Structure 1
Amino acid sequence: MTKDEFTYRIYPNNDDKTVYFDIIHTSTTHKEPK
């Protein structure tokens, strides 16, 4: 992991911590398309 990269951990069911999704978000330098 770099400082420009971080992970969201999402639990679809808060009662079941064994099920989760990791979403890796990276910062980019290019502009958003219009």
Structure 2
Amino acid sequence: MFFIIGSPNIFLCALFMIVPFLLLLSLFKYKYVDY
């Protein structure tokens, strides 16, 4: 926790990289469900 509080920039970068990846996974799931 101290590391995240000490460097919020790295934490934000991680979120920006993880969120789009999760969105892509959700899109692929919807595509497979449609088929």
**TM-score under structure 1 length normalisation:** 0.27
**TM-score under structure 2 length normalisation:** 0.27
Q: Which has the larger radius of gyration?
A: 2
Q: Which has the higher contact order (CA 8 A, sep 6+)?
A: 1
